[in-house]
Amino acid sequence: MRPDAHPTDAHSTEGHLVTVHPAITDPHVRAHLARLAAQAGTIPSGATDAAGDDAARIAELRANPSWVRLPDDEILESIDVDADGLALRLYRPRGGHRGTLVFAHGGGWVAGDLDNNDALCRALAAATGTQVLSVDYRLAPEHPFPAGLDDLERALRFAASGAGGLVDPGLLGVAGHSAGGNLAAALAVRSREGRAPGIRIQVLLCPVLDAPDLTRPSYRAHTEDLPLTAKGMQWYWGLYVHDAAESAPRPVSAAAVSASASAQPERAETAPAARPVVPVEAAPLRAPDLTGSAPAVIVAAEVDPLADEAEEYAARLAASGVPAEFVRRAGVPHLFLVFPSTPARDEVLAQIAPAVRAAFA
C-alpha cells in the first residue's frame, strides 16, 4: 500500500476483504497496517478477538516474532540488570541524562517482555534525555492482578535504593505503555499515598485507566479492524482481573463531570446501583482522590477504545490541581507508538519531552 493511499483502500486476502479502519488517516500508520493485513489476512487485533481456547490465544500473542532487542548505537546503550530475581533493562543516553523512568511494557498484562517495547524505550530515552528502566514483570493469567503492579513497585524501590549506583534515587518517575500505562498510573497512586517511593512524573502512553466501559463513545466506535478493539480489551481485562471481567459505568464525581463534559457529552453521569466491584489499583480512574499525585503526561490515540478514559483521567488530575499534559494524537490507533518508527511516534515523543525534562530539572 502506498504511504499516501486513500482511507477507503482495502486489501483482498484469500477471498476476504480486509479493511483498514477509515478513521486511521495517518498515511504512514495506514501503510504499516495494510502491509500487516496483506500478510496475515486481517488487521492485527491479534488473538484477542478470535474464538477458541485462551491458552492457545495467549501462546500466539507471546510468540510475536517482531519482539526483538535492537543493537545499541552511538546515541544509547542498554544494560541488563537483576533486582533480586526481577529482570530489568536500563536504557541510558550516551550524551548525558537526568532522571530515570521506571517503565512497564504493554501486552494486555498477558504478553510482552523486555523486548516487545525495546524500540519504544530507546526512543523515549533518546527524546527525553532520561534513563528508562524497563521491567520484566509477571504476567496474567498465571499471575493476575496485582502481581505485575507489585513487580513494578519492586523495581521502583530498587531504583530508589540507587540500583547499584546506576540511578539517582532522588530523580525518579514511572512510565508505561498500554497495560503498562495502567501499572504506572496505579503505582503513581501508591506513591501519592506514601505506599511506594516518591516520584516526580508519571508518563502514561495509551494507558488502560478503567475497566472496560462499553458506554464510552471511544468503546462504541472502535469494535473492529483495529489493533485493539472493545472486545479485545474485555478479553485482556478478564484474564488480568478475574472477578471483574464485566463492568458497568462507575459513578462520576461532580468535579470530574464538569472537567470532562466538553470532551464527552454523551456520557451518563451516574451508574446502575448494582455492578461488579473493581479494585481501584486495577482501574486508577476510580481513585476517590488524586490530589497530590505526581505531574502527568498522558498520550492517547484517537482511534482507540481507551482514548476517552485517558482524556477523563487527565481532566480529573487537572481538576485535582495536578499538572497534566494531555496529547490526543489524531488519525492513529492503539499501538501506534510501537509500530516501526513513524513521524507520528517521533512527533509525539518530541511533544512530551519538555514536560519530562522539566520534571527532572
Q: Is 178 considered catalytic here?
A: yes
* Residue 231 main-chain phi, psi, to 5 deg: -65, -45
Among residues 11, 28, 97, 334, the one annotated as catalytic is: 334
CB atoms within 10 A of CB 247: 21
In this structure, are residues 46 and 61 in contact, taking their beta carbons and an 8 Å threshold?
yes
Single out the residue of 123, 129, 57 nearest to residue 336, CA to CA. 123
Single out the residue of 233, 267, 260, 257 nearest to residue 247, CA to CA. 233
Cis preceding-peptide flag for 44 (omega within 30 of 0): no
Among residues 210, 213, 304, 308, the one annotated as catalytic is: 304
205 in helix, strand or coil?
A: strand
In this structure, are residues 107 and 89 in contact, taking their beta carbons and an 8 Å threshold?
no
Cα–Cα distance between 298 and 120 in angstroms, integer?
A: 15
Among residues 134, 178, 191, 293, the one annotated as catalytic is: 178
Residue with cell 488487521: 43
CB atoms within 10 A of CB 314: 26
In this structure, are residues 139 and 110 in contact, taking their beta carbons and an 8 Å threshold?
yes
Angle, nearest 10°, between helix axes 147-160 and 179-192?
60
Q: Is 304 considered catalytic here?
A: yes
Cell of 319: 481538576
CB atoms within 10 A of CB 60: 15
Cell of 181: 500505562
Cα–Cα distance between 312 and 294 in angstroms, integer?
A: 17
**Three-state SS across 107-129?**
CCCCCCCCCCCHHHHHHHHHHHC
- Which residues carry out catalysis? 178, 304, 334
